[in-house]
A and B are shown apart, each in its own frame.
Chain A
Amino acid sequence: MGASPEDSTARWQYLDHIRKTKGPFNPPSDEDEDTPEMLDTLGKSTILVIGAGGLGCEILKNLALSGFKNIHVIDMDTIDISNLNRQFLFRKADVGKSKAEVAAAFVERRVQGVEITPHNNKIQDFDEDFYMQFQMVVCGLDSIEARRWMNATLVNMVDDDNPDSLKPMIDGGTEGFKGQTRVVFPTMTPCIECQLDLYAPRAAVPLCTLATIPRQPEHCIEWAHIIAWDQEKPFPSLDKDDPEHITWLYQTALSRAQEFNIAGVTYSLTQGVVKNIIPAIASTNAIIAASCCNEALKIATTAAPALGFEDNYMSYHGDEAIYTNTFKYEKKEDCAVCGSLSKPLEVDPRWTLQELIDSLATNASAQLKKPSIRTESKTLYMRFPQSLEEKTRPNLDKTLREGLGLEEKQEIAVTDPAFPALSFKFFLRFT
């Protein structure tokens, strides 16, 4: 494939054709969508891909082939030999290298004109300023925790005064033959936290079963992981990606299994139990990644109705026959992340904390007689338990701005034992 402009136009001819054709379901628009500027929006938007594993490899390839030109990818993992069966951007020689870097380089090489910036990091290494540069986030993650972190970050970033602060989040997930694609418009549509009930809790085995009467090979591995490791501390801290550490766990589990006549402890089972690996199927990843990327394309270009405001959740079931279902998940009113968004609270910065507390008792939207108050990083006043009350009591006489260092727009969380089901979040507005 050459690099001349003609070729490049030819390359996107069919995609552009789809984008130029107005369909009955296209959102109405004031702008003339046929202009070259309009068609170029895809090339100008910067999209973030989280995860460069099973889903991530597919997502990166699909986005590049859909016309996205500026892509960033974050993944903290290195390539393991067991990845090679489905993470097709990696070769044997890449084992041990950063997934993000190898994946980015491969797709850049293969698809001309795309620029992929790899970040060999945790998502938690970056702050809101970093995430602000993207127009959209596509997640191909295998951990609930990472999803929740990303979700909370994107919800918190939404600033009423700044349209660019709202970043659509597209989340793909697979487990064996099952998968799902979700689209979240932070603060507007149900977020990941609203849907947390969908995850079955991880089944845990009672600690005393592990300690005394193991019955399954998994029990022996968990014993080695949770109990024996702690007692013997063969290495300073457990690195689940270090083969030496897994080998230690494997051998410890194996000798315990022999003691109790339990068969089935293997190295790969040890790795699976310790890292909580769920078997991944390449084609399920491909299906889910493809649907994520089509939604990304549609949201970026408004070429067709996307998941989001009406239906927001597509589930794919390939485990018992085959069935897909797209539906509207409802927003949870009391969602811990997007449910109780903070309300403004007018305060005089020269007030003492005690005066703020007194004002909450008469404030119509609070009416709290025994409030406890915290910010994200500071415990301002806790009425219970006693030890915390004593330590935070001196704050009552301090002034909000000078004494306690509170700032305009600072968020405070207020709870009151009289209302165990409620909590209040305010952001300060200085008068």
Chain B
Amino acid sequence: MLKIWSMKKEQQKKDNDEAAAGGKKKKVTAAQLRVQKDLNELSLGSTMTTEFPDPDNILEFILTITPDEGQYTGGKFTFSFNMSASYPHEPPKVRCQQKIYHPNIDLEGKVCLNILREDWKPVLNLNAVIVGLQFLFLEPNASDPLNKEAADDLRQSRDNFRRNVKNSMAGGSIRGVQYDRVLLK
């Protein structure tokens, strides 16, 4: 036990390494560092913005998507992002904050996006997730339903689905379920 320290000293000399720790201040965590990098590389385009309720906590933020193409054009949707200390070994937790009519998003805001769950890999980053979310609004997908009624509507009649999307975004109800008004204006 006594010898370990002298071995460390020797190892340091050998590596000519001035590195090693610096006292007892709190260290930046691995998750924070990775999120910092991810945020630097985020490409939001014109349809997305972020908001940090507490700028000092970058592990939590809100993403706003305002699609300018597809059936959901004219709507404004916000998603909460939450990265645990295990990020990027665990995917970010993402939730839609409005109750919306969408085949791949349930009424609690859970999102069925493969990379948020079964296909998540640590090499993926926040950009991959927001691109995936954006895509869900362009191409709602009837084969991976979380909102089964919406998926059935989409499969049976695109026109009917389109009408329902419009109605729901204005705060209307479909089959007795009242949706949140998400129109920009």
Min CB distance, B40 to chain A, in Å? 5
The one of B30, B50, B51, B52 that contacts A337, using a Cβ cutoff of 8 Å: B30
A201 to B85, CA, bound (A): 16
A168 to B7, CA, bound (A): 13
Query: Does B166 belong to the interface (CB within 8 Å)?
Result: no
Query: Does A377 belong to the interface (CB within 8 Å)?
Result: yes
A206 to B144, CA, bound (A): 9
Interface size classification for chain B: 35 or more
A163 to B112, CA, bound (A): 51
For chain A residues 328-375, which have a beta carbon within 8 Å of chain B? 336-337, 341-344, 372, 374-375
Interface size classification for chain A: 35 or more
Residues of B near A425 (CB, < 8 A) are 27-28, 33
Query: Does A82 belong to the interface (CB within 8 Å)?
Result: no
A391 touches B55 (CB 8 A): yes
A211 touches B106 (CB 8 A): yes
Known A185-B4, A409-B23, A425-B28; contact A211-B42, beta-carbon cutoff 8 A: no
Query: Does A84 belong to the interface (CB within 8 Å)?
Result: no
Residues of B near A411 (CB, < 8 A) are 22, 25-28
B148 touches A374 (CB 8 A): no
B40 touches A416 (CB 8 A): yes
Residues of A near B34 (CB, < 8 A) are 336
A302 to B36, CA, bound (A): 43
Residues of B near A135 (CB, < 8 A) are 1
Closest residue on chain B to residue A168 by CB atoms:
B4
Segment at the B interface, from A60-68, A99-107, A151-159: A151-159
Query: Does B139 belong to the interface (CB within 8 Å)?
Result: no
Interface 0/1 of A201-245, CB less than 8 Å to B:
101111110011000000000000011001100000000000000
Interface 0/1 of B81-111, CB less than 8 Å to A:
0000110010000000000000010111011
Residues of A near B111 (CB, < 8 A) are 207
Query: Does B114 belong to the interface (CB within 8 Å)?
Result: yes
Residues of B near A402 (CB, < 8 A) are none
Residues of A near B159 (CB, < 8 A) are none
The one of A188, A372, A410, A415 that contacts B7, using a Cβ cutoff of 8 Å: A188
For chain A residues 152-185, which have a beta carbon within 8 Å of chain B? 152, 155-160, 163, 166, 168, 185
Most A-side CB within 10 Å, residue of B27, B44, B111, B145:
B27
A159 touches B41 (CB 8 A): no
Segment at the B interface, from A71-79, A272-280, A379-387: A379-387
Min CB distance, B43 to chain A, in Å? 9
B145 touches A379 (CB 8 A): no
Known A415-B37, A420-B37; contact A427-B23, beta-carbon cutoff 8 A: yes
Closest residue on chain A to residue B144 by CB atoms:
A208
Query: Does A315 belong to the interface (CB within 8 Å)?
Result: no
B32 touches A388 (CB 8 A): no
Interface 0/1 of A300-331, CB less than 8 Å to B:
11100000010000000000000000000000
Residues of B near A408 (CB, < 8 A) are 23
Min CB distance, A414 to chain B, in Å? 9
Known A152-B30, A382-B39; contact A160-B117, beta-carbon cutoff 8 A: no
B36 touches A413 (CB 8 A): yes
Residues of A near B19 (CB, < 8 A) are 341-343
Residues of A near B107 (CB, < 8 A) are 231
A375 touches B18 (CB 8 A): no
Residues of B near A166 (CB, < 8 A) are 4-5, 8
Closest residue on chain A to residue B34 by CB atoms:
A336
Query: Does A41 belong to the interface (CB within 8 Å)?
Result: yes
28 pairs of residues in contact across A and B, judged by CB atoms under 8 Å: A128-B24, A156-B21, A158-B21, A160-B21, A163-B5, A168-B4, A187-B8, A187-B20, A193-B30, A201-B89, A204-B118, A206-B144, A211-B146, A212-B148, A230-B110, A336-B30, A341-B19, A386-B44, A387-B49, A388-B39, A388-B52, A392-B55, A409-B22, A411-B25, A413-B33, A413-B36, A415-B33, A415-B37
A-side interface residues toward B, CB under 8 Å? 27, 29, 31, 41, 45, 128, 135-136, 145, 148-149, 152, 155-160, 163, 166, 168, 185, 187-188, 193, 196, 201, 203-208, 211-212, 226-227, 230-231, 299-302, 309, 336-337, 341-344, 372, 374-379, 382-388, 391-392, 407-413, 415-417, 420, 423, 425, 427
Q: Given A145-B85, A427-B22, output 18 extra A-B contacts at Cβ < 8 Å.
A: A157-B21, A158-B20, A187-B8, A188-B4, A188-B11, A193-B30, A207-B117, A208-B104, A208-B112, A226-B110, A231-B108, A387-B49, A388-B39, A391-B52, A391-B55, A409-B25, A423-B36, A425-B33
B-side interface residues toward A, CB under 8 Å? 1-5, 7-8, 11, 18-30, 32-34, 36-37, 39-42, 44, 49-52, 55-56, 58, 85-86, 89, 104, 106-108, 110-112, 114, 117-118, 120-121, 144-146, 148
